[in-house]
Every structure is written in C-alpha cells, then in structure tokens.
Structure 1
Amino acid sequence: MLGGKTPSEFMKLPIEERENILRGYLVTDDDVQIEEGDDFGLFNKEIATGSLLQQEYFMGEDEAGKQLVKEARQIYYRENTFSVRSHWLCEFICDTLADGKPIPIESLVQRIIVRVDVEDIYDMDDDMVDFMPEGEKEKSWVVRDLRQLLEFTNAEFIRIEVSGRGALDGSDPQTQEKIKEISGIVKTLIEQFGEKLTIRKLTQLNDGQSIFHDLRSWLMLE
C-alpha cells in the first residue's frame, strides 16, 4: 500500500502525494456500512485493506508510524459517508482500529446516516433507567443513541433514516409511534445542525426498490 516504502520513507513524500495514495485505500464513493461483527470488512470490500493503515501495530509506533496512522484516520473519517444502525452508533464513535486503543472520532466525521428500525422498540425497563447517571436518563434506547449525534460538532451532513413497513409518507401507526418516540431528540438535533440534518422514511418495495419520504412535517406536529 505504501509503494514498497517503509512508513518513514512514505512520510517524506509531499503531503498532497501521501493523501492521494491514502485515499485510494481509504475512501469510497459508496456509503461505508458499519455493521456489528464485520471485523473483516465484508460490507466494505473496496477499502477493507485500508484498515491496516489506521493501526500502529502495522505502521509502527515510532513518530513516522503514528503520524501516518493519524493522517489515514483523518482521511477515512472526514471523506467517507458512514451508514450505521442507531444501536451500533455507540460502538462506532469509539474507534478501536488503532490496536484496541479506543479513540473518539465524533469531531472527524463529516457525513453520517443513522438507521432507525421502525419495528424495533428499544425501551429500557425501570431498573436499567435507575442505573443511569442523573441527567442522562432516557426511557428509550434509540433516544439515547441519537443523542450521541450532538457530539458530531463538525458534521456537514446528518441523516436519520427510519426504515420499515407501513405507509410511504409515514402516516401509519407504527411509524407515528416511532416519530413520537424520537421527536424530542430530533428537534434538539435540528436546533443544533439546522438544514444539515434530515430525517426520512425508507420503505423497501417487493422489487427491491427503495422509496424515501421526508418526515420533518410530521415532527412539527409533535
């Protein structure tokens, strides 16, 4: 990946040349699918090998290796669009690619899609709520998960995608219940991100085609 160069030799190249080489292994035009259990990059085969560039174990723990890893991580997180299920967002924002050392990535990510399943109700029971710190208590897992988006302070694009069956325009009872569940946190996110944040319903048709419908109008009714 480094053209036969050692990390030290690679870091002597001009920054523009280094970045262009790294992009070839770390950036894709498709959404990067973040899925639990995908340790081998099966959902993102085009850039799977690029994960090695983000690990000091492979690049080295000297100054050159650490700088290479830093540049690789910045390109990967800043220049890709990530798609992640809401319940896996917590794992995503704590990057463990760097040799198991968790490193928060919220400030790096520019574009993210968070997928919420309309058919799953992740309500917490009272015992679990009682164990949460004061001021952080939520009655819904998905609300807790979406609240983490407030930390993506440099994001230029955030989309919440509510997927599932029901009316295409989100008027069915199940989608309406989900909208009611998340309306508070979504309004807070809109206050922070404005037009950078969108929310829409995704419905998969029998022929595999996906239909989208904007849900902001429903939120304003809550």
Structure 2
Amino acid sequence: MNRRIFSAVTGIPVVCKGSQNGMASCMIEDLYSTTDSNRKATLHQYLVQPDPVIINPLFQWDAFNPGILSGLLLLQMLARRSDALGKVIEAEARDIFYGENEFLVWWDGLYDFLHPPWSGTDHKSDIGRMVRKIVVRYDMRAMNTKLRHLSTELEHLFKLTRPRRVAVEIQGSGTAEGSDIATQAVIQDISGIVKALLDHFGDIFTIQKAIGGWVLLNATEFSCLRSYWDSPSESAREAASRSQATFEEIMQLQVERWIRGQSMRDPGLQIPTHEGGQAYLSADLGGYPESYSKG
C-alpha cells in the first residue's frame, strides 16, 4: 500500500511504501530534517482529530480512531528513540496528542489510558500533566467483569494537573434527570468521589446523564447532574419537610446524606458534611420524607 504524506521540509508530497509502520518510519525521517514550526505543524496534522479520541479497553486504540492511525504508530516508534533529537520530538508529539485532543475514555480503561504501554514508566506517568479535555463514560448496561468499582477508578482523575474540562458521563436508559433506580444507585455510589472532584477541579468539572446511543454511538439526550452536589438551601429543607421540594432539591438533600454516610464509614474521606437531618430516599426509591429537620 502506498500513501502520500506531505514533507515537513518542503511541503511536497512524499510517497511512503508498505505498511503503516513503514509510513510512520518515513514520517520520523522527515521530522528529523525540518524546522521546529514545520515539525509541530506536521505532528498536529497526524495526531489531532476534531472528534474525541475514543479509548475503550475492549478495543485497540486504532479501532475507532482511523484518522490518527499513523500518528498513534508514530508515538510508539518515537518512544523507542534514544537520541537527543528523538526525545525532543517524542515530547512534542505527546504534548500535542494529549494536549490538543479531547478523549472519551471508558471508566475501566482510565488507569491504562494514563499509563500507556509506550509511556516507558511502570508506576507513574506524566500523561496526567498533558491531558486537557477528558470525558469518562460509565455505561450502566455493560457488564462489569473486572471487579473494579467506578468510585475507585474515578480517583485516577486526580492525576490530571492542568485540565480544561473534566466530565463524568453516566450512560444508559431511564430518565435524563436520573430519577430512575439504576441511576440513583450509581449516583449514591459515586456521591463522595464526585464531591471531592468538584472541590478539586471547580467549574471545569461536571457530571451528566446520557440517554440513548449504544456502545460508541452518540447519545440522543443529555442532562447535567452537577447541581445535585450543591449544598441544599434552607428553603429546600423546609419544602422537603412539607413534601413540596422539587426533584433537584430532593437530590441535593439526598446526595448530602449519602456523602455523610460514606464519610462516616470511611473517616479518611475528607468531605464536608451538614450535621443533623433525617435520611430519606428519592421519589423513585421510596417517596418523599414525612419530615426533614436540621436537628
């Protein structure tokens, strides 16, 4: 197979013959003999795509990202370079790939994403320093065969040191606002870690529910759940005691209780709590509380 790539030196098409590995090798030779600005432009051409880079642990990276296939091979080949210029080009390539793409990562592949085979490190990675935009997807319809827990896996997000957007996406059926039992169970499980992520990342972090779509298909409806982690107002507490609270207010009170319960079970979990009050379930899980007081 022959494929044209454009020389970073002259801008003239260069024919690289053979496999994708052969094309990547040809690209490396070209990158060695060009200016810094042309080299970075070429790296951007082959390493950045307009759509999110899909990272699913069940598939190879190239399975759903054909537009940057040559770039992915280039990253792997550059990681094996030991000369000074090769190391410089590798660092530039990784900064561009991780810094200029948005990544859609399945929750159980988050650790491996931050520690790719070509990173050359066994216990820590600097990928977290480079990533700027990431969405972590949890599909409620998928079977968890790895005995991993979503709340634990989300802790890997703290390795991101300079992100511009961090999102957790709960995908599945049910209702967009998350009043269905399945979504309620997920929210309860991750209420503590989401609170910690909100405190850590601030406005750049969000959590959303996605309805429709399957596996890699786009969802048809999104709903932001971030406000459920806002501190409930006094009027919300009073409305709940009269069974007149809105669903959002109920969820704020519910999440507050779940977080407090988790922090009591795990004293090392440093999450602010609001003392007092009556535990209760949402409308889907058991109805409004008969009364709610600050205690």
Normalising by structure 2, report the TM-score.
0.62
- Map of 2:37 onto structure 1: 16
Taking the TM superposition and a 5 Å limit, the aligned residue runs for 1:128-147 are 141-147=149-155
Task: String of CA shifts for 1:81-140, please: whole Å, max 9, x gaps.
Answer: 000111110111002135x65572111100000001234686998xxxxxxxxxxxxxx7
The match for 2:177 among 162, 169, 176 is: 169
What residue is the counterpart of 1:87 in the other structure?
108
Correspondence 1:1-222 to 2 at 5 A: 3=7, 7=28, 10-39=31-60, 41-56=62-77, 60-97=81-118, 104=125, 105-119=127-141, 141-204=149-212, 210-220=220-230, 221=252, 222=255
- Contact 1:117–1:162 at 8 Å: present in 2 too? yes
- SS across alignment from 2:206: strand
Q: Distance in 2 between matches of 1:41 and 1:121?
A: 23
* Cα RMSD, aligned residues only: 3.0
Shift of 1:216: 1.6
Cα contact 1:119–1:174 (8 A) shared by 2:
no
Cα displacement (A) at 1:218: 2.7
Structure of greater Rg: 2
Q: Does the C-alpha gap of structure 1 residues 205 and 144 become closer, same or farther in structure 2, counting only changes over 3 Å? A: closer
Summarize the Cα distance change of 1:101–1:54 in structure 2 as closer, same or farther, 3 Å threshold: farther
Deviations 1:8-55 (A, max 9, x none): 763453322111111110000100000224336020000011112212
Shift of 1:154: 0.6
- Whether the 8 Å contact between 2:75 and 2:90 is mirrored in structure 1 is yes
Q: Using the alignment, how far apart are the partners of 1:191 and 1:58 within structure 2?
A: 35
**Preserved CA contact (<8 Å) 2:209 2:224:** yes
Q: TM-score, normalised by structure 1?
A: 0.81
* SS of residue matched to 1:97: helix
Q: Work out the number of aligned pairs and report it.
A: 207
Gap regions ≥5 residues in structure 1: 126-139
- Paired with 2:34 and 2:213, the residues of 1 have a C-alpha distance of 50
SS of 2:129's partner is coil
Equivalent residue of 1:153, what SS? coil
- Give the % identical residues: 31
CA contact (8 A) 1:7 1:64 kept: no
Relative to structure 1, the CA distance from residue 182 to residue 217 in structure 2 (aligned partners, 3 Å threshold; closer, same or farther) is: same
